[in-house]
Amino acid sequence: MKKYIISFLIIGCLAGSCTKPKDLEFVDLSNLRMLKWGLTESEVGIDVRLFNPNNQRVQIKEPAAKVYANSSYLGDVRLDSAITVPRRDTFSIPLVLRVQTLSAVSRVLEVLSDTAVDIRVEGNVKMGKGGVFLNYPIQYHQLHRLSELKY
């Protein structure tokens, strides 16, 4: 009988630790910088600050997202390595945005003529812990004043 009770408690604890993590909350964008300038393709770095509302640390890896500015496609985001996210804390992720240089320059010039830019990001990211990762959708859409962006 004791074996059944102990087995039940162990299974209950394992099931409770495997709950699906809550979505990360966007805080802001900062440190916009040019990483690599090329004739056909360039790379732009940007730090995204997020808040983890979960009671446990999680890891995020392999984001696959497309970035749009004022409804015009800018490029794809990538992350070089997995990031361990602290529990119930704000953290920063250094992302790299790959853009086609010629089309991106014309779109950036359009954006700079406005006082605000509508940034939209769509895609997914793997988030999990203990080697178990689930795909989470990335759906971000917000109007940013250019004066508020930190370069």
Q: Is 5 left (phi over 0), alpha (psi -120 to 50) or beta?
A: alpha
Cβ contact 51:90 at 8 Å: yes
67 vs 59, 116, 151, CA distance in Å? 22, 16, 18
Q: Which two tokens stand for residue 48?
A: 């995204």
What per-residue confidence (pLDDT) applies to 93? 86
**Rounded CA separation 105/108 (Å):** 5
- How far apart are alpha carbons 52 and 81 in whole angstroms? 18
Burial of 87 (0-12, 13-18, 19+ CB in 10 A): exposed
* The pair of three-digit structure tokens given for residue 89, joined into one six-digit string: 């804390």
- List domains and CATH numbers for the chain: 22-148 (2.60.40.10)
Contact 40, 101 (CB under 8 A): yes
pLDDT tens digits, the chain, 151 residues: what are they? 555 555 555 665 555 555 667 778 888 878 888 899 888 888 988 888 888 888 888 888 888 889 888 888 888 988 878 888 898 999 888 889 888 887 777 766 666 666 777 888 888 888 888 888 888 888 888 887 766 665 5
Task: Report the pLDDT value the prediction gives residue 49, as an integer from 0 to 100.
Answer: 86
